[in-house]
Amino acid sequence: MEQGAAKLAKILAFALLLGVAVTAFNPAYRQAFLAIVRGHPEESPIWKSNLEYYPDIVLPGQPAYSSQPQAPAAAAPEHP
């Protein structure tokens, strides 16, 4: 049991170090991290690049993004 916990701790420490290294050396990830720290994640270059791929995912308080104008939704018939 103790060996398993030690291995898990090593794996987590390695993952943390790898994540810090990727964030430090990749400019897009570094800018994304800084945007989140500043409290403006919508300014992240990664967030901006993903807007067209994931239009239904929005930040709280943000309007939904649409790359194409959409027709108004048809009104649903009312049922008594």
Domain total in the chain:
1
Amino acid at 54: Y
Residue 58: inside a domain, yes or no? no
Q: How far apart are CA 4 and CA 16, in angstroms?
A: 18
User: Residue 34 domain-assigned?
Assistant: yes
pLDDT of residue 78: 61
CA atoms of 41 and 45, how far apart (whole Å)? 9
pTM exceeds 0.85 = no
Of residues 60 and 66, more confidence is placed in: 60
Domain hosting residue 17, numbered range: 2-50
Q: Is the pLDDT of residue 76 over 60?
A: no
For the chain, what percent of residues have pLDDT higher than 90?
A: 39
